[in-house]
Structure 1
């Protein structure tokens, strides 16, 4: 797992040692030597982990940790504190201020790397899921994350059922879905819902996205089978013929 790690350590020798071990494992490393620079690096670069020396000039590690936790949720940025203070009260203070781990100096670089790997794995588990990419089919754009439909960039007001129908068809442009398949996707196996519901959704969607609802070019009918979102390269004459035959 390649990560971006900010190392805030005023001892240049120790900072170089930590950088060397991190880069050996394929990580990108930013080294800073005071607390103010650490805050700037976190705000500007959004790293995956902060290795934070407790005693630094300008702004000390305790204040850096306080500020970071006031600006970012706990899961957003793991913080590993390095400190020459080994007393139990110091360690408890560090953890109470929001540090995820606390190591005392002198430390074993191998143990430090093991703890870094553990924190990075934990951070990856809490990372928010990547938003679904918008579906695009010709002039239609279905943004699943925002629950928006656009045609030629114009926002279309869709009901939940209309959105799910378009979403299903736009995931596989050109593929024909029967009314029964669409109905199952929309309503499961509810026997009280008929295929006429699908036709009503299609009619309402066409009023919103088609220039001429009698000669549909985007949401087209395949005679005797069902509906599909047309491919960009499908001749419009063939689309219109199929639609008129079905109407």
Structure 2
């Protein structure tokens, strides 16, 4: 049974979301403040967070950023804000999905299930995959990535993106293909959203993100993983 943390200061919203989640067989935990949410996340045993952007103490953005420092669990933002800048900010800090208020509960539950499925995608078969004499190392069985000997904390979307690339070295992926593999076929945002995830991934695995050695841009098409070899 998967455990979902619902973080919202509006009790009525929590009650509705909890009711539908429990009907679908999920275990639920509630928090009405960001501080409480972080305490619950640190206690462990949470599989996904539904996080309101507007909280009375910490902002949802601050909570999201703090969660990403300790966990790669999927985070779905609830927000009444609809600007592209708000979405990009959330994605850059590690949010996996957005649901706009007022929302359809059925849609929210569907997105919860989709994000949990993507978080449990099959891992690579190899125990360890090393690039450039250990500069970048993937440990698929542990869902861990190391850069220059230090562990890199990736969001679920960033890990799925890197995993997709590593499964198909040298293959050029269009943005649409990466959206489907990483964010799911039901993603309704702009295909350029994948650019932000690529940018975030490069910041973490490239020695110089402006001159990438792993994930290169294929003009007018998308991206290709070259594993540290020359393009």
Matched, 1:106 2:105: no
| Whole-Å separation in 2 of the counterparts to 1:16 and 1:86 | 24
Question: Higher RCO, 1 or 2 (CA under 8 Å, sep at least 6)?
Answer: 2
| Whole-Å separation in 2 of the counterparts to 1:27 and 1:128 | 28
| Corresponding residue for residue 156 of structure 2 | none
| Corresponding residue for residue 88 of structure 1 | 84
From 72, 75, 79, the counterpart of 1:79? 75
Is there any run of 5+ residues in structure 1 with no aligned partner, and where? 130-247
**Secondary structure in 2 aligned to 1:125?**
coil
| Corresponding residue for residue 190 of structure 1 | none
What pairs up with 1:110-189 in 2 under 5 angstroms? 110-125=106-121
How far residue 123 of structure 1 moved from its aligned partner, in angstroms, is 1.5
| Whole-Å separation in 2 of the counterparts to 1:128 and 1:59 | 37
| Whole-Å separation in 1 of the counterparts to 2:3 and 2:121 | 16
Does the CA-based 8 Å contact 1:95-1:102 persist in structure 2? no
| Corresponding residue for residue 54 of structure 2 | 55
| Corresponding residue for residue 31 of structure 2 | 32
How far residue 45 of structure 1 moved from its aligned partner, in angstroms, is 2.9
**Secondary structure in 1 aligned to 2:121?**
helix
Matched, 1:66 2:62: no
| Whole-Å separation in 2 of the counterparts to 1:7 and 1:120 | 15
How far residue 88 of structure 1 moved from its aligned partner, in angstroms, is 1.3
Q: TM-score, normalised by structure 1?
A: 0.48
| Whole-Å separation in 2 of the counterparts to 1:98 and 1:128 | 23
Q: 1:47 to 1:87 in 2, by over 3 A?
A: same
Q: TM-score, normalised by structure 2?
A: 0.52
Is there any run of 5+ residues in structure 2 with no aligned partner, and where? 126-231
Say what the alpha-carbon RMSD is for the aligned residues: 2.0
Matched residues, number: 126
| Whole-Å separation in 2 of the counterparts to 1:35 and 1:128 | 35
**Secondary structure in 2 aligned to 1:52?**
strand
